[in-house]
Each structure stands twice: as structure tokens, then as C-alpha cells.
Amino acid sequence: MRLSIMNTSEELFNQEQEGWLKTLERLRLENLWLKNRLIDILQRDMSKEQLEKAEYFQGLFLDKDTVLALLRRDIARLGKKAVPVQPERNGYMLERNKLEEDVYRMEKEFSAVKDQFNSFVSEIAA
């Protein structure tokens, strides 16, 4: 009986981690699309202020790439650990909960960056 409970817990944690990885992959692809869009925008004539803002977004997009890679690494590390019988007692759940919060925060931050970038694109197009 105990073995089947552990297997179920481990399966649930694995499914959860797969979901996080899919979310991060979606964000990575969106970030790539935004970087390509920025490249297209940089082909145009822009004011100094617009160019500075474009450089700001380029830095943000590169930062997001780094954070996404670190989150993928952390999820892979957690996935290699065996789910303990009592995950709440040895720090496993603490690590799992932190990763869940980090993925959620990344989604929120990325959404805000995307909104800012879309506003910037609208300003340039006007």
C-alpha cells in the first residue's frame, strides 16, 4: 500500500514538473518571437529615445532567456530527486513550492514585459 501511495505522489510531482516545463517552453518561444519582432523594428528609422527603449527591451528579453534556463535547470534537478515518503519533512516540498512560485512569477513578469513591449510597438507605429 505504501509503495502505491509513493508511486502516485511521484507521478503527480512528475506531471506537475512536466507542466512547468511546458509553460517555460511556451514563454521561451514567445520571448524568441518578441526578439525577432524587435529585430524587425530596429530596421526602421528611430529617434534616440526609441532606440534606447529598444535596447532596454533587448536586455529584458535576454534576462528572461537566462531566468528561463535557470528555472529549467532547477526543475530538472528536482526531477532527479526521489520523492521522499514524507516530502514535507526534508525540504523537498519547500523546494517544490519555491519552484512553483518562481514559475508563476515568471509568467506574470513575462506578461507585463510583453504588454510593455506591445505598447512600445504601438507608439512606434503611430
Each residue of 55-70: pLDDT tens digit? 999 999 999 999 999 9
Each residue of 2-41: pLDDT tens digit? 444 445 777 888 899 999 999 999 999 999 999 999 999 9
Q: What is the pLDDT of residue 83?
A: 73
pTM of the model: 0.85
Q: What is the pLDDT of residue 1?
A: 41
CA–CA distance from 74 to each of 15, 69, 71 (Å)? Answer: 16, 9, 5
Ranges of H-type helices in 42-91 = 48-80
Between 87 and 114, the more confident residue is 114
